[in-house]
Amino acid sequence: MKVDGRVERGEQTRRQILVRAAEIASVEGLEGLSIGRLATELEVSKSGVFAHFGSKEELQLATVRAAAKIFLTEVVEPASAVPPGLARLELLLTGWLDYSERRTFPGGCFFYAVQAEFDARHGRVRDTVAEYGKGWNDLVVATISAVPDLVVEPAQLAFELIAFLEMANAQSVLHDDPDAYRRARTAVRDTLDRATRRP
């Protein structure tokens, strides 16, 4: 079946808009997005960008979903290829640190940035951001739960491990700390050693 060239070009333009929107939002927040700015930066018509989204809120929601797909590809899918257990958990955590450190998004972790922006607000964007944040937490808890012979509660361990990841991201982005990710990797390893009584 032949794909309509206009439809294909439209989808390609939409993907380009959302990748750039996610990059901007990771630095300036979702409120930093505007249809006019994206049209100018990507050299497309303002009406063309508007036709894809229709409103700033729809642009913000689509940006969150696009960032989630990138996160899934960069962090979750590689870990999911490994059998359940400690190796999968370690790959999931180091994958997150790698994703943040290599600046998949220029502002570090996209979700860390926008959660801080929307955590005390109400509305569809906040609810969508919160849903993805809960999904990540639930995934970490479930991955921990599949590790045999744990000596700590999975939810408590997830809380501690995610705190290490987010602190590394914050220290690196805000203070340009060259040791932040190394320290986080050490903290993750030491915590897992204690949680599994690994020598």
Structure tokens at 36: 């006019």
Share of the chain above pLDDT 70, in %: 96
pLDDT per position as a tens digit, 99-113: 999 999 999 999 999
Residue 43 burial (CB < 10 Å; 0-12/13-18/19+)? exposed
* Chain centre distance of CA 82: 20
Predicted pLDDT at 75: 98
Mean pLDDT of the chain: 94
Greater model confidence, 149 or 141: 141
pTM score of the predicted model: 0.92
pLDDT per position as a tens digit, 103-142: 999 999 999 999 999 989 999 999 999 999 999 999 999 9
Greater model confidence, 47 or 91: 91
Q: Are 113 and 157 in contact (CB under 8 A)?
A: no
Domain 5-196: assigned CATH number: 1.10.357.10
Q: How confident is the model at residue 48 (pLDDT cuts 50, 70, 90)?
A: confident
Question: What's the mean pLDDT in 20-37?
Answer: 94
Residue with token string 């607000």: 121
C-alpha gyration radius of the chain: 19
In the chain, domain spans: 5-196
